Amino acid sequence: MSNQEQLSESINKTKNIHFLIEENQQYREQALDLEKSLGSVANLENNLQNSHIVLQLNQNSVDHSLFLGQTYQSKHMLDKAIQQYLIYLQINPNNDLCYMNFGTASYEKGMVSESITQYFQCLKLNPKNDICFMNLSLAYQAKGMLEEAIKSYQKCLELNPTSDFFLFNLGSAYQEKNNLSESILSYKKCLLLNPKNNTYYLCLGNAYYEKKIRLNCLKSYFQSFRLNPSNKICVQNFRNLLCKIEQKLNLLVNRSNYLNHIYQNY
């Protein structure tokens, strides 16, 4: 009987996940081989099934808990993902990636305060993790903690100063805080790094609109529309702005006609 057949027979004989792997080194090797094969499995359901088999065969291989947690999270099975991350961290509490995954799963589940706690744990272990700082910033922003979010975004940019995505989110936090000058500056820097992003032009236009700089707003909306004519939000904002400009022009014309009438009858 081949090694694979022996392994299959052993799985069929027991439903107990505490299978005596220590008693037979060859089964441990088979489990590791099975783990390596998971990366080539295209179907996520098969990944889950195979992950459970590996976990049943080797409870001490905690890396499987991390992998299984990531797999659950990719299917938005967040309670199960968090459970696997907790199992992993009991054995290996010094893995910054697991804390970050734990944080993102908590954030997706609406547990924003818990996500912040886990991001802090991640950053204690790896203070140069710019992605974790980004996630922390988003969590702060979701809680309305805009000063903290801005500082965290700035830390992202210290670690990765050429990221237009970090700059864009910094701009959105400034805009939400009604610091429109800094918001506009951030969006302009985004466009220096990525001049073909229609969303950046749209948000720049919105900031100009809030700051009542109508001409620059119109130019930004036009650039956004030029890059993506199918952007319905841009088209609607563009129309609204034109309507407001038309209303002001009509108001000025009416006022001019009124003053002219008074002058002629004076």
pLDDT band at 184 (very low <50, low <70, confident <90, very high): very high
**What pLDDT score does 89 carry?**
93
Please tell me whether the overall predicted TM-score, pTM, comes out greater than 0.75 for this model.
no
Q: Is the pLDDT of residue 40 over 60?
A: no
**What pLDDT score does 237 carry?**
74
Residue 235 lies in a domain: yes
Residues 6+ apart with CB under 8 A from 104: 73, 115, 135
What is the chain's mean pLDDT, rounded? 79
Residue 100 lies in a domain: no
Residue 56 lies in a domain: no
Residue type, 76: H
Residue 96 lies in a domain: no
Q: Which residue has better confidence, 242 or 231?
A: 231
Residue 98 lies in a domain: no
- CATH, residue 209: 1.25.40.10
Q: Is the pLDDT of residue 30 over 50?
A: no
Residue 34 lies in a domain: no
pLDDT digit string (tens) for 49-71?
555 554 454 444 567 888 899 99
DSSP-H helix ranges across 160-265: 164-176, 180-193, 198-210, 214-227, 232-264
By percentage, how much of the chain surpasses pLDDT 70? 67
Range of the domain at 192: 162-266
Residue 220 lies in a domain: yes
Residue 228 lies in a domain: yes
Q: Let me know if 219 is exposed, middle or buried by CB neighbors in 10 A (0-12, 13-18, 19+).
A: middle
Number of domains in the chain: 1
pLDDT digit string (tens) for 76-97?
999 999 999 999 999 899 999 9
